[in-house]
Amino acid sequence: MSNKTFIIIFTALLFFQFSFGQITDAEKKLKEKNADTTQGWKTGGVFALNLSQTSLTNWAAGGQPSLSLNGLLSTFANYKKGKTVLDNSLDLGYGILRQGKKSDFMKTDDKIDFLSKYGREAFTNFYYAALINFKTQMRPGYNYPNDSVIISNLLSPAYLLGAIGMDYKPNNYFSMFLSPLTAKITIVNDKTLADAGAFGVDPATYDNLGNVLIHGKKIKKELGGYIRVIYSRNDFKEELLKNIALTTKMDLFSNYLKNPQNIDVSWETQIAFKVNKFISVNINTHLLYDDDIDIQIDNNDDGIIDATGPRIQFKEILGIGFAYKF
């Protein structure tokens, strides 16, 4: 594991430990009060829409008009009865940006993330559990400003993960799932991307003239260990985080079959600062490290690729807009 990856994981675990440790007496009383009211189905979610617009007319200082739009839908359907728990969630996100009057819209965000986790209580706060997670995107992605070559698409990539293990769930806000046996499948359904070996699949084999002899594989299978940590307070009602909704989740995966010391990391955080019933300030971040994804690096910004290899990827979206919780 690289030093940067170690620092990321160490920082994240400290954050979760700090957050989990902030259990006030008021929260404990609230937990005891609601302990017997969570039986059966509980559903809900949040829809957020952020809009930013800049208009310039005869502006002497220069600049370009711009328009950006980001939407997020996060839903859940959880079930609890006796010793059985079932957690389901679906996150959808999409964003676009246009700079200049004659330019086309560019994609800034695009995700589909579905998770289902079944648990059966083993003893207090611990559950035997099985989990399935599916991730992909909706629309083609490009390496802007070059919009002639697709670098991602629907089901290119897609990630399907299945795991069995133990889930530690001391309250409604915190969950740590540990699995020593996890299957991870990477799908690259686009033939061109598969032939290029995108997202870690085996690339195509070519002859001396550049003709394809064997097309690239569209599926990559991995077997390893997996940890998923979630901390979520999103009802704006806690004394510790009044008028602030926070959800942060981290996934760690180690491939037993290839370089198990190089851990894949996915850490997403959503923070909403409530202004009033329908207006909020939203911050979304996503830190990603995948040892199988090579990133092209241009150190001198001269258009010449100097190196390729796995790198830390980071995305941040800040917006003020409409938010509706249901």
Domain-wise residue ranges, the chain: 3-36+113-264
Report the length, in residues, of the chain. Answer: 326
Kindly report the backbone phi and psi dihedral angles of residue 137, in degrees, each rounded to the nearest multiple of 5, phi listed first.
Answer: -135, 170
Q: What is the pLDDT along the chain (326 residues), one digit of tens a residue?
A: 555 555 555 455 545 544 444 444 444 444 444 444 558 999 998 899 998 888 888 888 888 899 999 999 999 999 999 999 999 999 999 999 998 887 889 999 999 999 999 999 999 999 999 999 999 999 999 988 888 889 999 999 999 999 999 999 998 889 999 999 999 999 999 999 999 999 999 999 999 999 999 999 999 999 999 999 999 887 666 545 678 888 999 999 999 999 999 999 999 999 988 898 889 999 999 999 998 888 878 777 776 777 888 899 999 999 889 988 88
* Contact residues for 72 (Cβ-Cβ < 8 A; gap 6+): 46, 47, 48, 49, 91, 92, 93, 270, 282, 284
Contact 290, 5 (CB under 8 A): no
Query: What b/e string do you get for 177-195 counting C-beta neighbours within 10 Å, with b at 16 or more?
Result: bbbeebbbebbbebebbbb
| CA–CA separation, 126 and 119 (whole Å) | 9
Closest CA to 266 of 246, 282, 284, 249: 249
| CA–CA separation, 107 and 121 (whole Å) | 43
Contact 74, 46 (CB under 8 A): yes
Report pLDDT for 24.
44
